[in-house]
Chain A
Amino acid sequence: MEKRPAFCLFRRFIHGHRRSFFWAMVATTVSILLTFLAPQIIRFTVDGVMAEELSLFGSLRQTLIFAGLGILLCTALSGVFNYISRINLGKGTEGMIKALRDTLFAHVQKLPFKWHVDTQTGDIIQRCTSDVEVVHRFISAQLIEAIRTVVLIMVALALMFAMNVYLAIFAAIFIPGVVAYSALFYAGIAKRFLKADEAEGALMVRVQENLTGVRVVKAFGRERFELDKFHEKNNAFAKAWIDLGYLLGTYWGLGDIVTGIQTMGVVIFGAYLAVNGQLTLGELIAFISYSHILAWPIRALGRTLSEMSQTSVSAKRLLEILDAEPEEEPSAAKTPDMTQDVTFDHVTFSYQNTPVLRDLNFTIPKGSVFGILGATGSGKSTITYLLTRLYDLPEDGGKITVGGCDLREIEQDYLRGQVGLVLQEPFLFSKTIRENIAIARPDASLDRIRQVAKVADVDDNIMAFGKNYDTLVGERGVTLSGGQKQRVAIARTLLCDTPILIFDDSLSAVDMETDAKIQAALRERTKGATVILISHRVSTLMHADQILVLDEGKQTEMGDHKALLQQGGIYSRVYTLQSQAERGEVL
Chain B
Amino acid sequence: MEYDTIPQQQSFSIATWKRLGPFVKPVRGRIVLALVLILLTAVTDVILPLFTKYAVDWFIVPQTTSGIVPFALAYLAVIAVQGVLVIFFCRHCMVIEMEMGRQMRTACFTHLQKLSLTYYNQTPVGYILARVMSDTDRISSVVAWGIIMFFWDIMFMTGIIISMFILEWRLALIIIFIMPIIGGVTFFFKSRLLKVNREIRSVNAKIIGAYNEGITGAKTSKTLVIEDQLTEEFSGVTGKFFSARMRETRLNAVFIPLVVMIGSVAAALILYQGGHMVMEDVLALGTLSVFLSYVLVILEPVQQMARIFSECLAAQVNIERVGDLLSQDERITDTPEVQAKYGDIFTPKRENWEPIRGDIRFQDIWFKYPDGDEFVLEDFNLEIPAGTTVAIVGQTGAGKSTLVNLACRFLEPTRGKVLIDGKDYKERSLLWLQSRLGYVLQNPHLFSGTVMENIRYGKLDATDEAVIAAAKLVSADRVVEKLEDGYNTQVGEGGDRLSTGEKQLISFARAVLADPPIFVLDEATSSIDTETEGLIQNAISHILQGRTSFIIAHRLSTIRHADLILVVEEGKIVEQGSHDQLMASRGRYHGLYTTMMLREETDLHGFWPDGDETDEE
Contacts and interface: CB of A to CB of B under 8 A. Distances in A.
Given A260-B79, A574-B604, A105 B275 contact: no
B598 A46 contact: no
17 contacts: A91-B246, A102-B231, A109-B218, A125-B212, A214-B117, A221-B345, A245-B95, A246-B94, A248-B94, A256-B79, A260-B83, A284-B60, A351-B614, A375-B608, A578-B602, A581-B597, A584-B594
A242 B86 contact: no
Interface in A419-447: 419, 421, 423, 425-427, 429-430, 439-440, 442
A87 B434 contact: no
B448 interface: yes
Contacts of B275: 45, 49, 60, 63-64, 67
Nearest to A218: B434
Contacts of B89: 249
Interface string A213-254: 111111111111111001100110111011011101110111
A219 B431 contact: no
Interface stretch (B9-17, B435-443, B468-476): B435-443
Contacts of B235: 102, 105
Contacts of A72: 264-265, 268
B482 interface: no
Interface string A166-187: 0000000000000000000000
B68 A377 contact: no
A510 B595 CA distance: 14
A208 interface: yes
A235 B215 CA distance: 38
A249 B112 contact: no
B90 A249 contact: yes
Contacts of A116: 215, 218-219
Contacts of A566: none
B145 to A, nearest CB: 10
Interface residues of B, number: 157
A429 B213 contact: yes
A565 to B, nearest CB: 16
Contacts of A205: 448, 493
Interface in B422-465: 431, 434-439, 441, 445-448, 457-458, 460
Contact of B345 (A223, A253, A423): A223
Contact of B94 (A60, A111, A242, A379): A242
- The winner among B76, B207, B231 for most chain A CB atoms within 10 A is B231
Going nearest first, the 8 A-B pairs with the smallest beta carbon separation are A245-B94, A221-B435, A249-B90, A377-B611, A79-B257, A90-B249, A219-B439, A253-B87
Contacts of B605: 375
B93 interface: yes
B213 A430 contact: yes
Contact of A38 (B264, B289, B520): B264
A237 B221 CA distance: 42
Given A208-B129, A241-B94, 4 more contacts: A67-B271, A109-B221, A129-B204, A212-B445
A562 interface: no
B135 interface: no
Interface string B505-523: 0000010001000001000
Interface stretch (B18-26, B99-107, B179-187, B384-392): B99-107
Interface in B186-218: 204, 207-218
Contacts of B162: none
A573 B90 CA distance: 77
Contacts of A248: 90, 94
Nearest to A550: B608
Contacts of B406: none
Contacts of B59: 271-272, 274-275
Contacts of B410: 215, 218
B258 interface: yes
A532 to B, nearest CB: 14
A250 B91 CA distance: 8
A128 B52 contact: no
Contact of B611 (A60, A376, A584): A376
B617 interface: yes
B584 interface: no
A128 B204 CA distance: 12
Interface in A335-372: 351-352, 354, 356
Nearest to B221: A109
A204 interface: yes
B256 A82 contact: yes
Contacts of B210: 105
B615 A110 contact: no
Given A268-B72, A574-B604, A208 B125 contact: yes
A335 B259 CA distance: 65
Interface in A560-587: 570, 573-574, 577-578, 580-582, 584-585, 587
Contacts of B612: 354, 377
A371 B212 CA distance: 34
B613 A379 contact: yes
A585 B217 contact: no
A537 B598 CA distance: 12
Contacts of A128: 211
A390 B241 contact: no
Given A212-B494, A213-B445, A376-B610, A385 B595 contact: no
Contacts of B234: 101-102, 105-106
Contacts of A536: 603-604
A294 interface: no
A268 B435 CA distance: 75
Contact of A209 (B217, B257, B447, B601): B447
Interface string B211-254: 11111111111111111011100110011011001100110111
Interface in B72-128: 72, 75-76, 79-80, 82-91, 93-95, 97-99, 101-102, 105-106, 109-110, 112-114, 117, 120, 125, 128
A417 B221 CA distance: 11
A442 B229 contact: yes
A249 B91 contact: yes
A381 interface: yes
A76 B112 CA distance: 57
Contact of B222 (A45, A378, A416): A416
B457 A253 contact: no
A412 to B, nearest CB: 9
Contacts of B348: 221, 224
Interface in A256-298: 256-257, 260-261, 264, 267-268, 270-272, 274-275, 281, 284-285, 288, 292
Interface in A362-417: 374-379, 381-382, 385, 388, 390-391, 413, 416-417
A574 B289 contact: no
Nearest to B75: A264
Interface in A99-114: 101-102, 105-106, 108-111, 113
Given A129-B208, A227-B113, A271-B68, A246 B91 contact: yes
Contacts of A246: 90-91, 94
Nearest to A493: B224
Contact of A83 (B227, B257, B446): B257
A242 B220 contact: no
B602 A538 contact: yes
A65 interface: yes
A213 B263 CA distance: 58
A52 B405 CA distance: 95
B556 to A, nearest CB: 12
Interface string A75-100: 11011101100110111001100100
A552 interface: yes
Contacts of B72: 264, 268
Contacts of B101: 238
A492 interface: yes
Given A71-B271, A249-B94, A281-B56, A268 B597 contact: no
Contacts of B347: 224
A210 B68 contact: no
